[in-house]
Structure 1
């Protein structure tokens, strides 16, 4: 319904931005142009962004980067950022970045990919908008998500490092546990969980409390809808992305209102740099995708309402998911001090569940003064978090190589659940006690 008005607003903005128009150079003209752009941007349907990573710096030399699909299924493409490396360049570690399927596209992790490109072969999950997948391709639920992750790790082969950002922490943790239970030779070398809801009973946030208060059936009745014609996925039940982004924005409504008020002021006074920063952020943030209803409802029920994983009752296709089976994978968890989506301790809980991992193969990093987004993007991520993750991957890749040598000292045997964990907090190493999992 708003399309004609949006087109009119865009035409007004263009007319009042034309230097030959005398109104362009008046305060009233600039205000009208700013108001027209603000209306157009807040009513626009944002399309899927592009990564736009065309080159990177490798060993002091700028090399081209191209995207290619390394693995494909109806609901996901695995994108490989292939670098044009010199022939004598030694192979770099393979990193599988599992992007969240929580309403945003994988391009939200553009900064994450960019940070790892100089020293790694980077792969990232590019989840498909559910409204674009025909019903004939079948459903997609939490079990399918776990199957996809296992299949991608198999496709990449041994010695792969896996990093799950936010929502996929649970299914990726499940996938690694199932691989270990089956003694899978392709189990990853390291697993990094960043701001993920492993146990949402720890320091519950507004998101967690909403799920607890409403219950599964409320979500089923109120937030699911059917994809309309003419989308390829018409008649598929989905949780629409615009509801997800509305929920995220209302959690920090004052901040978003202030940002758009600043956009209006900067447009009027001609502050091009500030305007461009706003455009780049919100072009990404407001581009949303739909999730399949079955995946969304299983996640609400098993992760946020009934807490299957920390209670030890999580299942994957009628087989139990036992985190204690994880013994060969080094585990790193990362949390943000000011995270208002995944509270402190929710990701740390993975260490208490995966108790068979030797103590020298586990680590936790608490990043001061960052929120949820800052855990995987921004200046503090580039300066503090990314180097620690890379160092963790290199250390345990080297350890794995040394352990495979006949003369190497045998790796420590998996023992009982550790009572404490070394944590980096504000540049200091401190010891944090691990709480025992809560009983039913």
Structure 2
């Protein structure tokens, strides 16, 4: 019902969006209508639908593996002199383009590939369900593509399935990544619990099933699929820092009135990305809540994939680096570092707690470019030369 109401609201918003766009266009170059123009620009952006943004990196993109719920995307033409880097983007609401800055930083000296996850609300029911096991299977398929000649980077949520995939492949004596970099991931959320962790801990799985899962309406390709809708996730994202978002839009209005085009463009670029969200298939979302945030299966040694217990201690050929942000209010310090206690057989261990950065600062921004990325490059080089 809620998803249907949202769809009805979106239809109504389209007419409002059209008139706001028209008013903003007609008043654009009229000095005494600056405030009217700014108000309509703000209204137009507040009522428009936001779809998956493009990476827009001025480099060729190609899909090398295509699956219903996510592809393996390659940037540029492979160069045998550069190491392969597989970035595992989070499947937690935003699209893989959230890592645009991360990709841009590494495409100069690496062959960069990324997991490009699809909006579950656009995946037909005939393509089946997507579970935590499915996620691990997808990662194993993507890793096999490189026959061991790859370095794995998992940003935030995929730290757990990435570690599980490498552990299972190690046990099966398959070719595994040379190194694995886990960045701000919830390996063990019992360390330094954040507001996100506390929210989950105070509720049981039945609450999440009852309040967050809805059926995709008939006007979408995934009609009938049970999902955690992107618009609900976005509401949660906004609520966590509502004052900051309100202030940002006030400033955007002022920038438009004053003619500060550069600042307005920066605001629009950020929110074009931030407001583009996707649905998550219900089984995957609920399993993640249960096994990662409520019952802590991985650190307790009871995580199973397709009936097999995941054994991180069997990872003996993949170097491990973990990265955390001192000010991370989503994945608290210690949650990712916990991977080192699990992967006791890893041939090389390194950890970095980056001062003065929050969650997004781990993989984007000036400190990432100037301080974190060089440490990752050095670690990858060290792992390559073992």
TM-score (norm 1): 0.84
Matched, 1:154 2:154: no
Q: Which of 43, 51, 56 is equivalent to 1:52?
A: 56
Quote the offset at 1:43 in angstroms.
2.2
Matched, 1:345 2:334: yes
Answer yes or no: is the 8 Å Cα contact 2:16–2:47 preserved in 1: no
Rounded to whole Å, the distance in 2 between the matches of 1:249 and 1:153 is: 34
Which residue number corresponds to residue 113 of structure 1? 103
- 1:180-199, aligned counterparts within 5 Å? 180-184=170-174, 186-199=175-188
- 1:36-435, aligned counterparts within 5 Å? 36-54=40-58, 65-83=59-77, 90-184=80-174, 186-358=175-347, 361-399=348-386
Rounded to whole Å, the distance in 1 between the matches of 2:64 and 2:364 is: 25
The structure with the greater share of residues assigned to strand is: 1
Question: Aligned with 1:119: secondary structure?
Answer: coil
Quote the offset at 1:72 in angstroms.
1.1
Question: Aligned with 1:394: secondary structure?
Answer: helix
Quote the offset at 1:327 in angstroms.
1.3
Structure of greater Rg:
1
Rounded to whole Å, the distance in 1 between the matches of 2:355 and 2:61 is: 34
Which residue number corresponds to residue 31 of structure 2? 25
Which 4+ residue blocks in structure 1 deviate beyond 2 angstroms? none
Question: Aligned with 2:169: secondary structure?
Answer: helix
Which residue number corresponds to residue 429 of structure 1? none
Which residue number corresponds to residue 410 of structure 1? none
Rounded to whole Å, the distance in 1 between the matches of 2:376 and 2:217 is: 43
Rounded to whole Å, the distance in 1 between the matches of 2:212 and 2:49 is: 19
TM-score (norm 2): 0.96
Question: Which digits, 9 at most, give the CA deviation of each residue in 1:393-424, with x for residues without a partner?
Answer: 0111011xxxxxxxxxxxxxxxxxxxxxxxxx
Considering Cα pairs closer than 8 Å and 6+ residues apart, tell me whether 1 or 2 has the greater RCO: 2
Quote the offset at 1:91 in angstroms.
2.1
Rounded to whole Å, the distance in 1 between the matches of 2:89 and 2:231 is: 19
Question: Aligned with 1:73: secondary structure?
Answer: coil
Question: Which digits, 9 at most, give the CA deviation of each residue in 1:244-267, with x for residues without a partner?
Answer: 121111111111111001000010
Rounded to whole Å, the distance in 2 between the matches of 1:300 and 1:90 is: 40
Question: Which digits, 9 at most, give the CA deviation of each residue in 1:44-99, with x for residues without a partner?
Answer: 21011000111xxxxxxxxxx2111111111111110124x8xxx75210000000
Quote the offset at 1:288 in angstroms.
0.5
Matched, 1:16 2:27: yes
Rounded to whole Å, the distance in 2 between the matches of 1:296 and 1:156 is: 28
Question: Aligned with 2:145: secondary structure?
Answer: helix
Question: Which digits, 9 at most, give the CA deviation of each residue in 1:220-278, with x for residues without a partner?
Answer: 00011111122111001110111112111111111111100100001000000100000
Answer yes or no: is the 8 Å Cα contact 1:159–1:397 preserved in 2: no
Quote the offset at 1:323 in angstroms.
1.0
Quote the offset at 1:2 in angstroms.
2.0
Q: Give the total of aligned pairs.
A: 375
Q: Which of 33, 38, 47 is equivalent to 1:34?
A: 38
Quote the offset at 1:7 in angstroms.
1.3
Answer yes or no: is the 8 Å Cα contact 2:190–2:335 preserved in 1: yes
The alignment's C-alpha RMSD in Å is 1.0
Question: Aligned with 2:139: secondary structure?
Answer: helix
